A and B are shown apart, each in its own frame.
Chain A
Amino acid sequence: MADLDAFRAETRAWLEANCPPEMRQPVRDEDDVYWGGRNATFKNDAQKAWFEACRDKGFTVPAWPKEYGGAGLSPAEAKVLREEMARIGARPPLSSFGIWMLGPALLQFGTEGQKKHFLNQIARGEIRWCQGYSEPGSGSDLVSLQTFGEDKGDHWVVNGSKIWTSYADKADWIFCLVRTDKTNKYQGITFMLYDMASPGVSTKPILLISGNSPFCETFFDDVKVPKSYGEDIPGYVGEINRGWDVAKYLLGHEREMISGADSSERGAGIGASLTRQAGGELDPILRAELAMFDVDALAFSAMGEKFLDEVKVGKAHPAYSNMMKYAGTELNKRRHELVMSAGGSTALEWDSEETRGGAAPRAWLRTKANSIEGGTSEVMLGVVAKRILELPGA
C-alpha cells in the first residue's frame, strides 16, 4: 500500500511535469487522436511532446514489459496511472490497434522474436496496424471467412477481400485472418501479419451514415505473404491453421475495449452537463430519462471497475467480456440519443462551425455501429446464454 502511495505521488509529479495543458482537454476532433505510423504527423507541439514523453517512459503501453517498450507496471500500478491520468483529464498519448489488439495477441501467442520486433514498434508508435477480420459474406458468422492463402512453400499467395477494416487506408501493416485449409472450418485459418504496401493490396473507404469514413473495404489480389520475417519472427501468430484460437482471444479483447469498461467517459453521468447546455431547463420527462440514464451509467462504471479488477486476478468468467460489450454499447447508444434530444435543433446541424462540423449528430450515428462491430448485441446475448447461463442448444 505504501509503495502504491509512493508510486501515485511519483506518477502525479511526472504527469504534472510532462502532460501539457492542451493534452488535458477532451478530444474534440479526429486529429486530436495520435495514431502513430510511418506517415504520422502531429497536430501541434503539445501532442508531440506528450507522445514522446510517454514513449520514453514506457507509458504508451504501461503494463507491457520494459523489454517490449512498456513500463513494466503491475496491474495495481497501471490502475493508479489510469486513475491519475483520468484525474487531470489526460488524453491517451498514442491510440492504435497495435496496442489494443495485436499487442495482447502477441503477448499471449507470439514468439520471443515477434515480441521484441513488433511490440517495440507498436509501443514506439512506428507502425500503424489494421485488423482484417470481417468479409462481405462473413459478418456475425466470422468463421465462414473465404479469403484464401495458397501455400507456396516459404510464402502464401493471398486472394480475397475484407470489409470494415478500420483505417485500412492509413495503416502500415495488417493482421489478417486467412483461410489456409478449405476442408477444416475452425482449424483451417491462419493469423497472418503483412505489409499493406505489398503489391496487390488495395483499399476503398466506405462512406457511413455519419458522413465519415473510418472503415474500408480491403482487397487482396495475389498478395505474397512471407512465412518468416527473420530468425524467430514468423509471418503469422500462433500456429498455421490455428489462427481461430488467436482470433477468439482477440475478440474477447475487442469486446472488452468496445464495452468501454475502462473508459471514465462511458461511466459518467450526462444529465448535469446537458441541462447546463440547454440553458438550465429541460422537459421534466427528459430530465427523468436523463436521471434514469445517469443511474445506469454510474452503475456501469462500477461494473467496469469490477470487471477489470477481476480480469487482473483471473476471476472473471472468460465469456464475461461479451456481457460487458452488450451492456456498454447499448448504454452508449442511449447516451447519444439523449444528447440529441437535449440538444434539440442545434444537434441536427450537420456542418456548421458552431457545432464543430456536426459533431453531435455524427457521433450519434457512429454509436449505432457499437452494437454491431466486434459482434452484434444479439450474438453477445447468445454467447452469454450459452457460455455463462449454459442454456440448452444455444
Chain B
Amino acid sequence: MPLYHDDDQAMLAETAQQFMGDEGAIGKQLRHWRDRECKDGFGHDLWKQMAEMGFTGIIVPEADGGLGMGHVEAGIVLEEIGRNLTPSPFLTSSVMAATALAAANEDARGRWLPGLVSGDSVFAVAIDEGPKHRPERIATKAERSGNGFKLSGKKDFVVQGASADMIVVAARTSGADDDEQGVTLFAVPKDAAGLGHNSVRLVDSSMASHLTLDGVELDGDAVIGEVDGGREVLNRVLDAGRVGAAAEAVGVARGSMDMTIDYLKQRKQFGKLIGEFQALQHRAAHLYSEVEIARAVVIKAQQLLDAGAENASLMASVAKAKVGKAAGLAVKEGVQMHGGIGMTDEYDIGLYMKRDRALAEFMGDVYYHADRVARMSGY
C-alpha cells in the first residue's frame, strides 16, 4: 500500500478540512466554550453535526450502523480537529471507546453504538491511575459480587469523564497490579451508584475527571470482552488512542506551523520581513522537516493498525513519540517566532501550545513511548 492518501481518502480530507475549518473553527468552538466556562468543554451541537457528517461512527462496522472505515480515515478527521483545536469527544468516543466496543457482545453493541453513531451519546475511557500514563499497572479492583462485579479504586485523566454517558473502565479481576493478565474492561454507565467525579479544567480548556469507584455494582453484562482477558482489548484501545492522539497532534503541529510561517511573511522589523532572516529561515525549515517526518510515521502506523500488522503497536509508539517531539517543537517555535504577541491570549498561537501539551501527555508522552520502543526492541 503506498504511504499516502488514496483518492477516497483525499476526498474525505477535503470534506473534513472544510467542515472543521467552518464549524470547528477556534472562534466558533474552543474560545466560545472556554469563555463561557462550559462544564463539558465542547458543544453538543457540533457533536451532532459530526454525526450527520458520518464522522462519529467512522470506524464502527457498517453492520453496527457506522462507516466501517479504519484508522487512516479516523486520522484524517483527527488531523483537522487538531488543526482547528476543535473540542469534541471524537478521540475518546469514536476512536477509543468504539475500539473497545468492537470487542463487546451484540447486546452491549446494540445498547451503546446507536448513541455513538447518532451523536446523542458521549463516551470516555478510564485507564490511568496517577499523573503519568502507566497502563501496564492496573490496580482498580473488580470483585465478583452476586452475578456481577463490584468496582473499587480511582482513575485519573478521564477526558470528558463527567460528560460521558458511559465510561470504559479497565479494572483488575485477578492477579497483582503489575500482571499482564487478569485485567477486565467494564462499561460503566454514568448513573452507576458509587461513581464519583471530580471534574477539572485542564490547561487547554478541556475537561477531565478524577474518577472514584466506591463499590460500584455492575451486572455481568457490563463486561466488555472476556473476564481476565481484557488486556488484549485494552492494548487495541491503547494503540488506537496513541495513533489517534498522534494524528490530532500532527494537526496541531501543522496548524501552528502554518500560522507561524504566515507570520514570518508579514511581520517587519529592522525594515525587513522577519522571514528574510536566515536564523529564522533555517529553524522554520528544520521544523517543517520534523513535522513532515512525524506525519509520515503517523500514516504508517495507521496503515499498519488497519492491516493488523505485527509491528503495528511498535510503530504506534514510534508515532506517538515522534509527534510528541515534532509538535512540541512546532508550538514552541510558534510562540517564540511570534514574539510578544505570541504571549497574548488574544492571539491563537498560545492555544496551540496548550493543546499540544495536553495531547503530548494523553496516552503516554515521548519519554514513555521512547522507553516502550526500547523495551519492545529488546533493550
Q: Is A382 an interface residue (CB 8 A)?
A: yes
Q: Is A28 an interface residue (CB 8 A)?
A: no
- Chain B residue with minimal CB distance to A304? B296
Contact B281–A394 (Cβ < 8 Å): yes
Q: Tell me the dominant secondary structure on chain A's binding face.
A: helix
Question: Shortest beta-carbon distance, A306 to chain B, in Å?
Answer: 4
Q: Is A158 an interface residue (CB 8 A)?
A: no
Contact A309–B2 (Cβ < 8 Å): yes
Contact B281–A385 (Cβ < 8 Å): yes
Q: Is B3 an interface residue (CB 8 A)?
A: yes
Which residues does chain A contribute within 8 Å of B378, judged by CB atoms?
272, 275
Q: Which of A341-394 contact B (CB under 8 A)?
A: 378, 380-382, 384-386, 388-394
> Known contacts being A309-B4, A381-B281, A391-B281, is A275 close to B379, with CB within 8 Å?
yes
Question: Shortest beta-carbon distance, B150 to chain A, in Å?
Answer: 40
Type the 1/0 row for A310-321, where 1 means its CB is closer than 8 Å to any CB of B.
101101000000
Contact A295–B282 (Cβ < 8 Å): no
> Known contacts being A299-B297, A306-B300, is A382 close to B282, with CB within 8 Å?
yes
Task: Report which of A271, A295, A307, A386 forms a contact with B322, defined as CB distance below 8 A.
Answer: A295
Which residues does chain A contribute within 8 Å of B374, judged by CB atoms?
271, 287, 290-291, 294
Contact A393–B296 (Cβ < 8 Å): no
Q: Count how many chain B residues have C-beta atoms less than 8 Å from C-beta atoms of the other chain.
A: 43
Which residues does chain A contribute within 8 Å of B280, judged by CB atoms?
391
Q: Is B28 an interface residue (CB 8 A)?
A: no
Contact A302–B289 (Cβ < 8 Å): no
> Known contacts being A287-B379, A295-B373, A392-B275, is A306 close to B261, with CB within 8 Å?
no
Which residues does chain B contribute within 8 Å of A393, judged by CB atoms?
272-273, 275-276
> Known contacts being A295-B322, A309-B3, is A323 close to B261, with CB within 8 Å?
no
Q: Is A288 an interface residue (CB 8 A)?
A: yes
Which residues does chain A contribute within 8 Å of B373, judged by CB atoms?
269, 291, 294-295, 298
How far is A327 from B315 in the complex, measured between Cα atoms in Å?
19
Which residues does chain A contribute within 8 Å of B265, judged by CB atoms?
390-392
Q: Is B370 an interface residue (CB 8 A)?
A: yes
Q: Is B377 an interface residue (CB 8 A)?
A: yes
Q: Which of B273-317 contact A (CB under 8 A)?
A: 273, 275-276, 278, 280-282, 284-286, 288-290, 292-294, 296-297, 299-300, 314-315
Task: Report which of B273, B286, B377 forms a contact with A271, defined as CB distance below 8 A.
Answer: B377
Can you list 25 A-B pairs with a CB-CB distance of less than 8 A?
Answer: A269-B377, A272-B377, A272-B378, A287-B374, A290-B379, A294-B374, A295-B369, A296-B322, A298-B315, A300-B293, A302-B300, A305-B300, A306-B4, A306-B299, A309-B3, A309-B4, A310-B4, A326-B285, A378-B282, A381-B286, A382-B281, A382-B285, A391-B276, A391-B281, A393-B276
Q: List chain A positions with a Cβ less than 8 A from chain B.
A: 269, 271-272, 275-276, 282, 287-288, 290-292, 294-296, 298-300, 302-303, 305-307, 309-310, 312-313, 315, 323, 326-327, 378, 380-382, 384-386, 388-394
Q: List chain B positions with a Cβ less than 8 A from chain A.
A: 2-4, 261, 264-265, 272-273, 275-276, 278, 280-282, 284-286, 288-290, 292-294, 296-297, 299-300, 314-315, 318-319, 321-322, 325, 366, 369-371, 373-374, 377-379
Q: Which are the 10 A-B pairs with shortest beta-carbon distances?
A: A385-B281, A302-B300, A384-B285, A275-B379, A299-B297, A306-B3, A393-B276, A291-B374, A302-B297, A299-B322
